[in-house]
Amino acid sequence: MPKALDVLKSLSSKSDEHEFYTRLPKGYVLGKTKYLIITGSVISGVGKGTFSSCIGNILKMCHGLKVSPVKFDGYLNFDAGTLNPYRHGEVFVLDDGTECDLDLGTYERMLNQNLCRDNYITAGRIFKTIIDKERAGKYLGRDVQFIPHVTGEIKGFLRELAAREQSDIVLVEVGGTVGDIENSYFLEAMRELAYEEGPGNVCFVSVVYILEPGSLGEQKSKAAQLGLKALMGMGIQPSIVICRAGSPVREKIREKISIYSNVPLERVVGSLDVDNIHKLPLFLKEKGIDVAVMDILGLKDRGNHPNVFSEWKGLIDKINSKRREVTIGITGKYTTVHDSYMSILKALEHTAPYLGADVKVKWIETTKVNADNVRDAMSGLDGVIVPGGFGSRGTDGKIECVRYARENDMPYLGLCYGFQMAVLEFARNVCGLKDADSTEIDPGTKEPCICILPEQEEIDGLGGSMRLGGYDMTIKPGTLAHKLYGKSRARERFRHRYNVNTKYLETLEKHGLVFSGMAPQKKIMQILELPGNCFHMGTQFHPEFTSRPLKPSPLFRGFIEACLKGRKG
């Protein structure tokens, strides 16, 4: 046991007498779990989440290690539920109902495993925990400070995850940049973690960006050097530096970074942009990043694991093969921020190769679509997706897109809000309910075909208050949904407040709409389909959240397959 932790273990319960504050959870064994900490540099968006998930992919699939990822966001929000997609991209939902950063979706897809609320931590959650403990007198009358209490709670959070999951590696992504004020105390906690855990138990990886201004025509490393200097000034010595760049990183740049950061040249790795994220694990494996991490942390290959990585290579072979191109429209009001639909894009991207398809996306801004120009907006498409969303803006355009797809037998997939738009379109144009609407769009509508869930009626707040997370559903035999799932019961993830008004079910079904999936105990419709069309389906849930590269969503497979069959030429 390192001397630092030996002292901490004996004194942590006496914080009124000593300056130490740490929590070692029951069952926590020092040195059993290793920590891999990924930090950024001077700009955000350099791909820390992508790198983190991909290195986790290799360590799990190639070496049989148990990996538990954690994403830290410096925001004072308790979770990501109230964040605007324009500012932060997609809100991803875990099976336990946690609304989180889109990087958690990348982790789940790359690691092929479900995560929970303990894999995501925000500044807001940390501070709420601390204030709640202070009010309850848990700090024994101490003046509560950033050091040791805030940093101590952060370390305790990671160690509790390690003990509960019996992890080989806890992989921590520190969001934002090294210079952010809101990250400073978290990075300090990571420095303390390395000090307490001792040599060989914590590995720091810094992901930097190598600039290449078009006016200069050459790569510049100064920004990366300054980011590394700031990191080292906080007492953190990186073990590996990943240099992200738009073109191959030149040897001189790597040498500069090596000299500046005290990192051996062989562990300064150039990471060139790849055309498909699923190829990145193979690239990192080729560069030997996994071997370097295991060497630094003293880890050994488990040896008895199935070689799942061969399946991953099989997917890459399919991606690299010649494929038929299909064009799919995605409608919405956040179409200028593609990260708002990240999981949909990834579901299409990793599903298409299994069917010999190559998906091209056409973005349709529905605030500009009406009955007069919908044909132009939908021209050239092999299928259309209406994704999730909130509010009234752009809904008329979405309904016009649904109508066009239904009337022209174009493959249609409605996700969450897209499910509700399909109900309204059918009610208006097939059932003759011209005033059919959602009470979210028009609270005073005469025909509330979509209304708020009964359990949501008394809720005033927004954050974490929707019907969230994984729920089981029953699937009606003899339907397309049953054929695609191959079973009568499935589990999917939800994020909604409104549903189909049961008063209109008889009318909708009488005119031909089939509700093929529903909640087992409640009359909540969860899948709709129109048998007369090649593929006209809507889901109240988000199948994109559970679609994985090695196990694509059955609904996305069915949708792309229908797009291929209907493609002309």
Q: Are 55 and 171 in contact (CB under 8 A)?
A: yes
List 440, 542, 561, 563, catalytic entry = 542
List 116, 401, 416, 451, catalytic entry = 416
Confidence band, pLDDT 50/70/90 cuts, at residue 234: very high
Confidence band, pLDDT 50/70/90 cuts, at residue 140: confident
DSSP, residue by residue, 519-551: -SSS--EEEEE-TTSSSEEEESS-GGGT-BTTB
Tokens of 426: 């059918």
Higher pLDDT, 171 or 12: 171
pLDDT higher than threshold 80 for residue 288: yes
Task: Let me know whether 214 and 332 are in one domain.
Answer: no
Percent of the chain with pLDDT over 70: 92
Q: What is the mean pLDDT of residues 397-425?
A: 96
Instruction: Determine the Cα–Cα distance for residues 369 and 161; give it in Å rounded to an integer.
Output: 48
- The CATH number given to whatever domain includes residue 123 is 3.40.50.300
Q: Is 149 a catalytic residue?
A: no
Q: Are 63 and 301 in contact (CB under 8 A)?
A: yes
List 99, 153, 188, 544, catalytic entry = 544
For 443-457, the pLDDT digits (tens) are 999 999 999 886 554
Tokens of 357: 């398809």
Instruction: Determine the Cα–Cα distance for residues 309 and 461; give it in Å rounded to an integer.
Output: 44
User: Among all chains, which residue has been given the structure tokens 């690239």?
Assistant: 283
- Mean per-residue pLDDT of the chain: 90
Tokens of 284: 């990192």
Tell me which residue range forms the domain holding 107. Answer: 9-312
- The CATH number given to whatever domain includes residue 502 is 3.40.50.880
Domain boundary among 256, 289, 312: 312
pLDDT of residue 569: 42
Task: Let me know whether 289 and 419 are in one domain.
Answer: no
Task: Let me know whether 411 and 472 are in one domain.
Answer: yes
Confidence band, pLDDT 50/70/90 cuts, at residue 458: very low
**Residues near 296 by Cβ (< 8 Å), separated by ≥ 6?**
200, 203, 239, 240
Q: What is the mean pLDDT of residues 483-510?
A: 95
For 191-228, the pLDDT digits (tens) are 999 999 999 999 999 999 999 888 888 999 999 999 99
For 298-324, the pLDDT digits (tens) are 999 887 666 678 899 999 999 999 889
Domain boundary among 243, 277, 312: 312
78-87, 416-425, 478-487 — which is least confidently predicted? 78-87
Task: Let me know whether 272 and 370 are in one domain.
Answer: no
Instruction: Determine the Cα–Cα distance for residues 416 and 495; give it in Å rounded to an integer.
Output: 8
Task: Let me know whether 63 and 189 are in one domain.
Answer: yes
CB count within 10 Å of CB 354 equals 16
For 100-124, the pLDDT digits (tens) are 999 999 999 999 999 999 999 999 9
Q: Are 425 and 414 in contact (CB under 8 A)?
A: no
Higher pLDDT, 85 or 205: 205
Instruction: Determine the Cα–Cα distance for residues 190 and 130; give it in Å rounded to an integer.
Output: 18
Task: Let me know whether 197 and 330 are in one domain.
Answer: no
pLDDT of residue 485: 98
- Whether 105 is in a domain gets the answer yes
Confidence band, pLDDT 50/70/90 cuts, at residue 4: low
Task: Let me know whether 464 and 525 are in one domain.
Answer: yes
pLDDT of residue 338: 79
- Please tell me the total count of domains within the chain: 2
pLDDT higher than threshold 50 for residue 159: yes
Tokens of 456: 């949501």
pLDDT higher than threshold 90 for residue 334: no
- Whether 3 is in a domain gets the answer no
Q: Is 534 a catalytic residue?
A: no
- Whether 2 is in a domain gets the answer no
For 51-75, the pLDDT digits (tens) are 999 999 999 999 999 999 999 998 8
Q: Are 128 and 79 in contact (CB under 8 A)?
A: no
Q: What is the mean pLDDT of residues 358-381?
A: 94
Q: Is 416 a catalytic residue?
A: yes
Task: Let me know whether 515 and 382 are in one domain.
Answer: yes
